[in-house]
Amino acid sequence: AQSVAQPEDQVNVAEGNPLTVKCTYSVSGNPYLFWYVQYPNRGLQFLLKYITGDNLVKGSYGFEAEFNKSQTSFHLKKPSALVSDSALYFCAVRGNTNAGKSTFGDGTTLTVKP
């Protein structure tokens, strides 16, 4: 079985400061890892993914994530947070043998204060 843990329900940062949203995973085989963002009463939007290759993945809106195989982590980062980054963030994992079904974490609410 595959699983995702987002240990923080809430992350608060000041605008202009770096941000990190944590994610750890468990999966059989090689993992495919994803980050999504959700604004209130909207669907999820894809931010970035790790499939293979470089452990540092760059995505939309200046976000990036670092894959760490030994720690089974895929933390989302941004060097300088914006107030408009405030939203609900989801990490997801899919095993390469799991026929397209992803497992999502419970989400982390990011609040960026001016």
Partner 1 sequence: SQTIHQWPATLVQPVGSPLSLECTVEGTSNPNLYWYRQAAGRGLQLLFYSVGIGQISSEVPQNLSASRPQDRQFILSSKKLLLSDSGFYLCAWSLWDRTNTEAFFGQGTRLTVV
* Binding interface with partner 1 (CB under 8 A): 32, 34, 36, 41-46, 49, 51, 88, 90, 94, 96, 98-107
| Nearest distance, CB of residue 16 and partner 1, angstroms | 27
What backbone phi and psi angles, to 5 degrees, belong to 78?
-150, 130
Of 4 and 19, the one with the shorter C-beta distance to partner 1 is: 4
CB of 10 to partner 1, least distance (A): 12
At residue 62, φ and ψ (nearest 5 deg) are 80, 5
Of the pair 15, 98, the CB lying nearest partner 1 is at: 98
DSSP letter at 29 equals S
Of the two residues 13 and 93, which places its CB atom closer to partner 1 in the complex? 93
CB atoms within 10 A of CB 41: 5
